[in-house]
Structures are given as structure tokens and as C-alpha cells.
Amino acid sequence: MSLHAYKFVTPIISVVEVKPSKIGKGIGQCLAEMYATLKQFDQRKVYGIITDGVEWEFYLLENEVLTVDKTGGYIRDVSGIIDRIGYIAKQFQPT
């Protein structure tokens, strides 16, 4: 695996940590952060993650439409979680 450094000039992701087994409680905060990022930085899309450290939920807010990744993820599937985060980073990679 090789690591590459990227310079992000605007926020691309909002991460919200919630108490164990309270993953649904973070959607309001995460969505508010994502929406504020869209408006403040005049972006077309922003990603969101809600986690309690074990369960992970991934979101995409694009053109004011929220898409939810229904597959989710659990800490036992670390490679799947890393893959999703890597995918998000690649979406904002300079061309």
C-alpha cells in the first residue's frame, strides 16, 4: 500500500461520533454540518459519517439530495470502512 498526500482546500466530509448504540441520534447533527459545508464553501457535494466506534453509516449530500449507504459497516470490517473513506478522498482528488 502506498500513501499519497493530498491538499484539501475545502471540507469534504463531516464526521459525527455518537454514544454506543445511538447511531440514529447523529443524523441531525451530521446533516446540518453537511448542509452548512455545501452552502458555506459553495460545494456541489459533501460526505458524512456517523459512528459510535463500532457501527458506521455513510452519507452523501449532493445538490441538496441525501443519499444513504445502506450497507453500513462494522469495526470488524475495517478494510471496508477504510475503502469507503478512501473512495471519498479520491472524489476530491485534484485532476
pLDDT digits (tens, 9 = 90+) for 54-67: 899 999 999 889 99
Pairing of strands 13-17, 65-74: unpaired
* Domains of the chain by residue range: 13-91
CA 46 from centroid of its chain's CA atoms: 7
Task: Give residue 46's pLDDT band: very low, low, confident or very high (50, 70, 90).
Answer: very high
Whole-model pTM? 0.82
Backbone CA torsion sign across 15, 19, 20, 25: negative
Q: What percent of the chain lies above the pLDDT cut of 90?
A: 48
pLDDT at 7: 66
